[in-house]
Amino acid sequence: MRFKTCLLIGVALLLLSACNSQKNSKADQSDSGKKDYQLVWSDEFDYSGLPDSTKWIYDTEGNFDGWGNNELQYYTSGKRENAWVDNGILYITACKEKYKEKEYTSARLNSKADWLHGKIEVRAKLPNGRGTWPAIWMMPGGWSYNDGDWPNIGEIDIMEHVGHEPSVIHASAHSKDYQWQKGTQQTGVIKIADASETFHSYILEWDKDAMKCYVDDQLYFEYKNEGLGESKWPYTKPFYLILNIAVGGAWGSVQGIDKDAFPQTMEVDYVRVYQKR
């Protein structure tokens, strides 16, 4: 009996060891992609006050012409009601208030750093008011709104959301040949029912051959480099990151603006940028 008991225990231990080995093997496989990257820049928002001025700048250049989209907000600089960090979260808030001939205020933050290729991850909870247009996106380093030449220079939209479609997330790539004015932009859409109630990770993976966008682990947009030149693939230079909430505009106000829904906030848990080792 003692022999049988020992034998059974031995078999059980072997089975447990095999299961653990299989689990570890799967974990190693699932983490293998992450191991290809190293963290090169981040903001965990583990402080209180205005956004870290060593990492972010306020973009206010296009305020008086609606940023080319007939947007209604004025992007402020250093105004805590529009951009503030507390309890480990960055709050970007669009408010209904008169400010410098505009009816709304908000914030648009640009990263001071830029990157050629890599993995950009922004964990955020989105606003849900009709008329809001939050975005997590990228533009070429050194480019200024007043420089013009858009969309020839390229634009990468990791996440766009409009309040009249509260469960729909968009990702797009714009260039000279692929742009929304022509209806030719490279784009993808995914439905995330709780985008305004729960934090999700909005992720871009980008290299010389392709760009891919995910919500958490769900791939929903992929655009491969066709090898046909800059008019289709201008993504050969470093791009910086932008976080903002627009109000109204060519897309945001398609179904009007719910003025009573404001203030509206995009909450950002962290921003992390990785590059290949």
Kindly list the catalytic residues.
Answer: 155, 160
Cβ neighbours of residue 37 closer than 8 Å, sequence gap 6 or more: 118, 119, 274, 275, 276, 277
φ/ψ bin of 75: left (φ > 0), alpha (ψ from -120 to 50), beta (otherwise): beta
Task: Judge contact between 110 and 241, C-beta under 8 A.
Answer: yes
Rounded to an integer, what distance in angstroms lies between the CA atom of residue 108 and that of residue 111?
A: 10
Give the count of beta carbons closer than 10 Å to the beta carbon of residue 56: 21
Rounded to an integer, what distance in angstroms lies between the CA atom of residue 48 and that of residue 55?
A: 14
Task: Judge contact between 251 and 135, C-beta under 8 A.
Answer: no
- Joined together, the tokens standing for residue 73 give 């907000």
Among residues 208, 45, 207, the alpha carbon closest in space to that of 119 is found at 207
Rounded to an integer, what distance in angstroms lies between the CA atom of residue 226 and that of residue 229?
A: 8
